[in-house]
Amino acid sequence: MMRAARVLLLLLPAFGLAGCGDDPVPGPPPPEPLTSAACDALRADFASADKPRIDAALLRIQAAAPPLDWLLEGLLDDDRGVREWSAHALGDIAPQDDRVVRALIVSLQDKDDYVRWKVVRALGNIGPRAKLALPLIKETVASSQEILRASGEKAIRQIEGR
């Protein structure tokens, strides 16, 4: 009881001073939410072959925390670049959502090697939560080009926690 009274006496002046004086220096403004027009522009960036443009789009996505559904939808896009960079972004910014792992597992069947490469890397970035993908990644490693094999081996180590 005595201790609680002392704590209360220490806190009361702080409550009394709340709102007095200058406000603290504000931080940066929160990121703007991505509108559908902004998402369309990002999709166009992903479809381009311009690496700086793609990198800038990835930074905008990371800062804005885009709707996850939009990136998942990008895995099904007709354009290879959109599928590739959607997988990349999902591996970087959405590792805690099980829908991402399931969608990336489906994308391991993509016809394009570069898309599969980004998918394998994304699953590796997600780490142990992507254990469900291990059999397919191992199958991909066994039957793929060198770049996909190397990324697959690294992803397997990341997922297994080695």
| Structural domains in the chain, sorted by start | 34-160 (1.25.10.10)
Radius of gyration of the chain from Cα atoms? 22
Report how far apart, in Å, the C-alpha atoms of 3 and of each of 12, 13, 15, 21, 135 are.
Answer: 14, 17, 19, 30, 58
**Least trusted range by pLDDT, from 18-22, 51-55, 80-84:** 18-22
pLDDT band for position 9 (50/70/90)? very low
Q: 129-150 pLDDT, tens per residue?
A: 999 999 999 988 887 677 788 8
Both tokens of 4, joined, read 């609680």
More confident residue, 57 or 123: 123
Which of 91-95, 100-104, 122-126 has the lowest average pLDDT?
91-95
Instruction: Grade residue 29 by pLDDT with cuts at 50, 70 and 90.
Output: low
